[in-house]
Amino acid sequence: MADTPHPEILDAVRRALAEDIGGGDVTSQSCVPADRRAEGVFLVRQELVLAGTGVVPLIYNERGGVEELNILHHDGERLEEGARIATVRGKARTLLECERVALNFLQRLSGVATIAHQFAEVVNGTGCKVLDTRKTTPGLRRLEKAAAAAGGITNHRIGLFDAMLIKNNHIEAAGGVRQALGNAQRAGLPVEIEVRTIDELHEALECGATHLLLDNLSPQQASEWTRVVNGRATVELSGGIDLDNVRSYAETGADFVSSGAITHSAKAVDISFRLHLL
């Protein structure tokens, strides 16, 4: 993560802290003397691919009271159970009030990186790249896409603003494939178009489409349609693609496969925080 965080990431951190701490950590304020110092360590409890380390210093910078923070591993590293991710030293109250927010980010983002790595491993050697999607947790897209990239896959567009993806509803609203492509190509942005039938596939190619999205096909159908394209356009496959079938889709000759499961179905990994007094 860059030294200067993206405003959306800093905002996500601030909102997470406000959500959890609110007017104050009443338990820590009641139980722990204000001048007590401690050290905490973030520990890996299962094999994982790490992500979210850049968020940890942002959390403590927002709250203050930290004397020393050491990030021992970085995003994209594969870690075994028992590995120490980071240590932090300072006011015990600060460490306690930041514990859950830091863990939530690390567990969620490392979960995304871990499943992304699994996807990348499964398709290794096929020449096909795995893409993520916009099926992300609201407010956490930049973080989740960074985590997916740390896991070894390729980011698709970040949002509706940086590239065009003409889906079936756009085609309906525009009046057809030809009309949708003609209108979009005048904007001067990258254009990808989804085709639902073999006739739409031929029409899109005739109209000069350079990037096709083939959705909800079986691997056999995807192979047949990709042979029809025959290199005239880049081919992306999507729809129901998961770890069990992604290899079959990657072997069809397509350039890309995309899966929303990388973000919407990632399971948080097991990371713990252990504190001891100084």
DSSP classification of residue 42? E
DSSP classification of residue 39? E
Annotated catalytic residue, options 135, 178, 203, 251 = 135
Annotated catalytic residue, options 78, 100, 178, 196 = 100
- 162 catalytically annotated: no
- 186 catalytically annotated: no
> Rounded to whole angstroms, how far apart are CA atoms 196 and 103?
42
Annotated catalytic residue, options 167, 178, 196, 251 = 167
Helix axis angle for 198-206 and 219-229, nearest 10°, is 30
**DSSP per-residue string spanning 58-96:** HHHHHH--EEEEEE-S-TT-EE-TT-EEEEEEEEHHHHH
Annotated catalytic residue, options 97, 99, 194, 255 = 194
**DSSP per-residue string spanning 21-38:** HTT--HHHHHHS-TT-EE
- 91 catalytically annotated: no
- 194 catalytically annotated: yes
- 215 catalytically annotated: yes
Active site residues: 100, 135, 167, 194, 215
